[in-house]
Amino acid sequence: MADESGHRGNRGSGAEAGHNNQRDPIIHDRLRDGSLKLYELEKELTPIDAIRVRREYIEQETGTTLDNVGTFSIDIDRVVKRNCENMIGTVQVPVGVAGPIRINGGHAQGSYWLPLATTEGALVASVNRGCSAITKAGGADARILHDGMTRAPVFATDSVVHAVQVCDWVTVHRDVLKATAESTTSHGKLSDIVTFVAGTSVFVRLEFDTKDAMGMNMVTIASAKVADLIAQGTGARLIALSGNMDTDKKPAAINGIMGRGRSVVAGVALSHDIIAKVLKTDAKSLHEVNYRKNLVGSARAGAMGFNAHAANVVAAMFIACGQDAAHSIDGSTCITTIDLTETGVYVAVTLPSLPIGTVGGGTSVETQQECLKLLGVAGSGTPPGANAKKFAEIIGAAVLAGELSLLGALAAQHLARAHQQLGRG
């Protein structure tokens, strides 16, 4: 509960957690002599006590005070079971809000306030300016291009002939593999199977419709069943359930081409007047910065993404809304394009890979749940999958806002000045 000043109490404090001055030293001694492991504390203590005792032990071992880490408002009973092992507390990340931003999407329709969790000064202010430009222009178009979470087991074969035989077997038995995969889940549907060969290695890229879940647990369990069936039917040896043709938590061309998670595109038409008044530049300069920086510069650098800082906005949204932060790297594969028009420019962002969900994982943590509710996407949608698609369109529009603002600042030669004014060193 909050006190009169509005500050949350220390949920991990000894006063609230039943501090036991006689018991705790004994537990610390057992931890030191190895008769009790840190990860075993929840077996002997309540979750709140286990967190406190573990934190106090680490404080003693390292000589570090962790008072702020030990202050939190979330209910940790579920967190210690589903989200974090060996928990000692939380790290608080400032959350700012940008907007409202008008979105004219296939699923997201209306005005939205964007929660952005970040410690990078100027980011929220920058996105906020982009939101202003987009809203003044009547809103961002946004559409889902593709939807599918992947897992790609890798198999070893005896020869290249055997490798091709495995691929042929998979093609012939597609329906059986689909039924096997879907027998493991009441929500997921196997939507595609594509095989790849590299010498004697065979990769089977399985793609699933995971509805409102990000779906990695779902597709991993289903893929294990499919992989066993392929091994039994072909004599190929399963080497790893993930063979990196997925590709998970790494920038990869295959995800940029075929998509992974939700693939989304967002765009907006900006008039000469809005470009001048909000972005403080002109259409020609905006277009040239994007061409020479995002397109030519990225190509010359061998980058997999062609954008200004898309992953910056994706990461801030992911952290605020309980997504797997490592997947924010997928935002780096964004392509930002600017077309000159008679009335100004049309700016678009294409995000081929957004592994996101509105149920499961970190979405159930109270603070992250509140941010999802702020966007109107918490929980399962109607029909199933609608909330995740809506969320993807919102993120796409947010990235568009971030790209617009940074490109505008670069075109107007304002980037360094903005960071200086906001005290960013």
- Position 421 confidence tier, pLDDT thresholds 50, 70, 90: low
Residue 118 vs residues 92, 325, 409: alpha-carbon distances, Å: 10, 12, 20
Q: How far from the centroid of its chain's Cα atoms is residue 300's Cα?
A: 28
Catalytic annotation present for 419? yes
Ramachandran category for residue 396: left, alpha or beta (phi over 0 → left; psi -120 to 50 → alpha): alpha
pLDDT band at 346, cuts 50/70/90?
A: very high
Q: Where does 175-277 show beta strands of DSSP type E?
A: 189-198, 201-209, 237-240, 260-271
CB burial readout 348-373, b (16+ within 10 A) else e: bbbbbbbbbbbbbbbbbbebbbebbe
**What pLDDT digit, counting tens, does each position of 210-252 carry?**
999 999 999 999 999 999 999 999 999 999 999 999 999 999 9
Compute the average pLDDT of residues 58-66.
96
What's the pTM value of the predicted model, to 2 decimals?
0.92
Output the 3-class SS for 16-33: HHCCCCCHHHHHHHHHHH
- The torsion angle over the Cα atoms of residues 410, 411, 412 and 416, rounded to 10 degrees, is 10
Pick the closest to residue 321 from 371, 356, 365, 364 (CA basis): 371
Please determine, looking at this structure, whether the domain spanning 30-92 carries the CATH number 3.40.1350: no
Domain boundaries in the chain? 30-92, 95-147+259-421, 153-240
Q: pLDDT tens digits for 116-132?
A: 999 999 999 999 999 99
32-39 contacts: CB < 8 A, separation 24 or more? Answer: 38/86, 39/85, 39/86
Question: Of the listed 24, 209, 324, 366, which one is catalytic?
Answer: 324
Residues 6+ apart with CB under 8 A from 161: none
Listed residue (270, 266, 294, 253) closest to 399, CA to CA = 266
CATH fold match for the domains 30-92 and 95-147+259-421: no
- CATH class of the structural domain 153-240: alpha beta
Quote the mean pLDDT of the chain: 93
CA distances 364 to 286, 333, 360, 371, Å, are: 41, 28, 6, 11
What's the pLDDT score for residue 97? 98
Which residue, 242, 264, 247, 217, is CA-closest to 359? 217
Q: How far apart, in whole angstroms, are the C-alpha atoms of residue 50 and residue 65?
A: 17
Q: Is 272 among the residues known to form the active site?
A: no
Active site (annotated) includes residue 162: no
pLDDT above 70 as % of the chain: 93
Using DSSP's 3-state secondary structure scheme, residue 64 falls into coil
- Whether pLDDT at 93 is above 80: yes
Fold of the 95-147+259-421 domain: 3.90.770
Among candidate residues 42, 59, 120, 370, the one labeled active-site is 120
